[in-house]
Structure 1
């Protein structure tokens, strides 16, 4: 199988070695450095380089190094029928669970109010007893590879977890499905964690209807995409006490401009898109799985669905 690497982060000897350890027969070329074979089976990248005017001949699939692939779906160079495969990176999923757990424990400990009190040099203890993990409802938006890992990890830690997916399907306990059940999934949640991919259907999905369904004093945790958040609705929910804190890891514009007022908001926690970074070994294993499936003509893991 011929693989063309076109992502600067993964166009390294370390990644090539990790991939060949799993698939010794893989022939790997790096865009802009190596000669490109006549037939490329898989293009592995986050975005298609600007100087790649057309996709390689014989391409069977695009392997996307990120968890979301909406930008590839929108790329005019990608024909409609060409499979796009997400990176099912176990290491990245574990990082996103860590981020979600960090924020959820912060909600349990009333961390944002304690931080504000510290900034004001105010010795103020919480007015109510700390709630037990099982009494806190955590709603996860997204039930794909990342969403399931996050929900399973939080449930294993003792939190009460509900999940929501855009897709229809069979009824499963604790899983809400479709737009009509979105608000119900979020109703009275103490923590709302978004790990959805971005699509026209999920743009601004964190709206007033969703946020004002949460329990008063809830935490919003966005490790999906910046465009998922309706900023005006979020700020209104904070001002009215519905949200005690918003943890934002992704933004419409990145890096977030240094004059953006979100930086200094006392109830907003900003991180620079580090919720889940792809790993060398995890990504190599995920790409190796795709190569092996292509050889066997089985169903591709992590296949992106077009709507």
Structure 2
């Protein structure tokens, strides 16, 4: 099985050994006749000259396996006719759950309220987790992992997704109930993909539905939030704080107002990373399925964009 590594050269040293260990039968390479490859391993940033990859010459390829969970930077490529699969990495899901749980706990406990200035703030006692309402927008693999971690700590967690597909143990609201999902969200965790339906989902109107003093944690996509509307809403205290890990333009420009706003915490897109050791077995399984003509895992629905 010949596999083309369509990713930046800097990723080769970490990924090539992991992929070969997980799938010893592959011939993994970065060069060769496109018509000779049975599959591609893809990550955004390739080609490195900034052009869009032309998939047309890969006439034998039965699979394009993304190394990223998000596929918005490839799914609209008009030359892509091969099956595209997104990456569902158990290590990435674990990392996302840890990130969101950590920041949710910080908001829940009000840890930033205790300035070390000699003032005894005994009145700032948080409720127990069972009395703290958390809403998670996006109940895919990452949303479910976060919901499981947070319910394990006793939080009152409700999910929301466009489909409203039931999730075991987690009340999940459907698309039309977005207002209800936001109105209860003392802590709002955003893990939605970037699609036409999710862009600017949090805008002036929807941000106003949040309870006063709410916290937003966005580790999904920067396009989910209207940035101008968020700053205006923060100035009004609804929400009171936003922890942002993803942005419309990355790296976030040094002169962006988020850096200076007292209601914003910026983290540099580190909530969750695809880890070769845990992701390579997922790619290996799909490579084998493609060669055997079996159903692929995590096949992208291009009409939905993920």
TM-score by length of 2: 0.89
Equivalent position of 2:41 in the other structure: 44
Per the TM alignment, residue 230 of structure 1 is displaced from its structure 2 partner at its CA by 1.1
Question: Cα distance, 1:124 vs. partner?
Answer: 5.7
Distance 1:51 1:148 in 2: 33
Cα gap change, 1:143/1:236 in structure 2, threshold over 3 Å: closer, same or farther?
same
Equivalents in 2 of 1:243, 1:221: separation in Å?
11
CA distance, structure 2, for counterparts of residue 103 and residue 126 of structure 1? 22
Superposed CA offset, 1:46-104 (max 9, x none): 2242274444221222211111111212222223xx32211111111111111101110
Moved runs in structure 1, 4+ residues, more than 3 A?
A: 51-55, 168-173
Cα distance in 1 for residues equivalent to 2:22 and 2:232: 50
Distance 1:3 1:209 in 2: 48
For the structure 1 residues 132 and 170, does the alpha-carbon distance in structure 2 shift closer, same or farther, using more than 3 Å as the test? closer
- Aligned positions, number: 297
**Residues 9, 281 of structure 1: alpha-carbon distance in 2 compared, 3 angstrom cutoff:** farther
Separation (CA, whole Å) in 1 of partners of 2:18 and 2:275? 11
CA distance in 2, matches of 1:57, 1:290: 18
Counterpart residue number, 2:84: 84
User: Is the Cα–Cα contact under 8 Å of residues 218 and 245 in structure 1 kept in the other structure?
Assistant: yes
SS at match of 1:93: helix
For 1:69-80, list aligned pairs within 5 A. Answer: 69-79=71-81
Q: Which moved more, 1:165-174 or 1:21-30?
A: 165-174
Counterpart for residue 67 of structure 1: 69
2:248 paired residue number = 252
Indicate the residue corresponding to 1:177 in structure 2: 174
What are the Cα deviations for residues 5-64 of structure 1, in whole angstroms up to 9, with x where unaligned? 12126742442222222222112112xxx3346332222122242274444221222211
Shift of 1:264: 1.2
The residue that corresponds to 1:216 in the other structure is 212
- Partner of residue 264, structure 2: 268
Q: Structure 1 stretch 270-279 or stretch 150-159: which is displaced more?
A: 150-159
Q: Secondary structure of the equivalent of 1:63?
A: strand
Contact 1:112–1:244 (CA under 8 A) maintained in structure 2? no
Distance change (3 Å), C-alpha of 1:197 and 1:138: same
Determine the C-alpha separation between the residues in 1 that align with 2:165 and 2:222: 27
Counterpart mapping for 1:1-307 below 5 A: 1-8=1-8, 11-30=11-30, 34-36=31-33, 38-47=35-44, 48-49=46-47, 50=51, 52-55=53-56, 56-79=58-81, 82-114=82-114, 117=115, 121=117, 123=119, 125=121, 127-167=123-163, 169=165, 174-178=171-175, 180-307=176-303
Residues 22 and 268 from structure 1, CA distance in 2 versus in 1: closer, same or farther, beyond 3 angstroms? Answer: same
Q: Under a length normalisation based on structure 1, what TM-score does the superposition of the two structures give?
A: 0.89
Unaligned runs of 5+ in 1: none
Q: Is the 8 A contact 2:217 2:243 kept in 1?
A: yes
How has the CA–CA distance of structure 1 residues 299 and 210 changed in structure 2, closer, same or farther, with 3 Å as cutoff? farther
CA contact (8 A) 1:142 1:163 kept: yes
Return the offset for 1:224. Answer: 0.9
Which consecutive unaligned segments of at least 5 residues does structure 2 have?
none
The RMSD of aligned alpha carbons is 2.2
CA offsets 1:138-183 (integer angstroms, 9 cap, x no match): 11111111111111111112211111112254697601122x1112
